[in-house]
Amino acid sequence: MLLGVVLHAAASFIPGEPDASWPYRDPQRNLLFGIAAVLIHMFRMPAFYVLAGFFVAQSIDAKGASRVLRDRTTRILLPLTIGWVLLFPLVKGAFVFGVAQMANAKPEDALSLAIRTATQWTEPHPMHLWFLWYLWLFVASYIAMKYLAARLMPTSVSHRWNQLVNGVIRLERPFVPSPLLVVATFLVILHMKMPGIDTPGSFIPDMGIFACYFVFFWLGTRLHVLREILPELQNTAGRRLWRAAFFMLIYIIACIVWFDGLTKTGSAPYGAFIVAQAALSLAIWPLILGGAGLAERWISREIAPIRYLSDSAYWVYLMHLPLCIGIAVLLRHAPYSALTKCGITIGATIAVCLLTYEAARRVIPAGAKH
């Protein structure tokens, strides 16, 4: 969640021309932010959905499917609905304000235009909250699949299927990838429009993106079944991460070649895209599993600051986007480097989000927080 703040703060300082997904760019830009965005984007949401799948499966075992569906509906769809209604005009207005500043409009004119535009509910899109909508769809789909499999699939077939899937995951070793796991990942990301995984731009689910992230979510549920391998993940975390780092380097180089070709010629080299997606398929699982093992090894007891950041991360992510945009725009004419501006944007955004989190904790009844 907190990496989302870094990603969206960095987006204003990435080299290249603005696009529909992020129409504002600061005059000061740095290639490091492009590399950081590529790395964060390749890892963050796949890891999130693997963890989400793990804990959904754990909750179903403890509480039952119907209760989990009701609980996730409350905890996912309610924040999505309220957050979107409050944040959509703010995000839209912040981008309009930034674009007007890029066109050298007077600050008062840019602000007036932003306010007028923010009140026009046109071209609605899920913004950064798309992950909540897809998460709820994954939970509902997984529960429906479990229900149908329990009633339609013979026990012997179900047992063999579980053995096959568990065997595929167990084959993922520190330095030797599981062929089926790599191929499955490669196939679901091969149809993307650019290296990595596309981001949805509509409330209507994109079935390609849905299938891609559902694979990570579903395999997360299988890791709950195989939770006895967690000690092995702790012992092999370092070796997995070394393998991940090697393929991440290849992924970054291929992405740079792809974007460079697109910028210079208007036609991105398809070979670079294939290499990038193949490298991502080889890097993502040792990165997720190695990271999980490292976290299990290092965070063996509750640490107050980490616990606080964990508790507040959901709120921070929900609230951060208009701040990331607005603060970056306000710094447009400041005589600072891109690194300094981005650092200020990240720090100020997190500070404001944590202050509002503390205010919300004092207003929301204690029982409603859980």
pLDDT tens for each residue of 281-307: 999 999 999 998 888 888 777 788 888
pLDDT of residue 365: 58
Angstrom CA distances, 352 to 38, 304, 312, 324, 357, stand at: 26, 20, 12, 11, 8
Q: Which of 111-115, 132-136, 216-220, 341-345 has the lowest mean pLDDT?
A: 111-115
d(CA 76, CA 52): 12
Closest CA to 47 of 297, 275, 208, 217: 217
Distance CA 275, CA 283 (A): 12
What confidence score (pLDDT) does residue 156 get?
84
Please compute the mean of the pLDDT values over residues 234-241 and round it to a whole number. 90
Is residue 210 classed exposed, middle or buried when 0-12, 13-18 and 19+ CB atoms within 10 A define those classes?
middle
Q: Which of 59-68, 142-151, 156-165, 272-281 has the lowest mean pLDDT?
A: 156-165
Q: What phi and psi values does residue 127 have, to the nearest 5 degrees?
A: 55, -140
175-191 mean pLDDT: 92
Ordered DSSP codes for 12-63:
GG-SS---SS-----SS--HHHHHHHHHHHHHHHHHHHHHHHHHHHHHHHHH
- State mean pLDDT over 208-229: 90
**pLDDT of 234:** 86
Please state, in angstroms and rounded to a whole number, the distance separating the CA atoms of residues 235 and 80.
38
pLDDT value of residue 110: 77
pLDDT for 230 equals 79
* pTM (predicted TM-score): 0.90
**Contact residues for 64 (Cβ-Cβ < 8 A; gap 6+):** none
Sign of the alpha-carbon dihedral angle for 150, 156, 157, 162: positive
Backbone angles phi, psi at 319, to 5 degrees: -95, -10
Alpha-carbon distances of 178 from 226, 254, 273, 282, rounded to whole Å: 16, 23, 22, 9
Residue 356 has pLDDT above 60, yes or no: yes
CA 35/CA 39 separation, integer angstroms: 6
Largest interatomic CA distance in the chain: 71
In this prediction, residues 140-160 reach a mean pLDDT of 88
Question: Does the pLDDT at position 123 exceed 80?
Answer: no
Q: List, for residues 41-58, the tens digit of each pLDDT value.
A: 888 999 999 999 999 999
What average pLDDT score do residues 89-109 get? Answer: 85
Question: Residue 204 corresponds to which tokens in the numbers above?
Answer: 């209507």
pLDDT (average), residues 256-270: 86
54 close to 221: Cβ distance less than 8 angstroms: yes
Residue 102: pLDDT above 90?
A: no
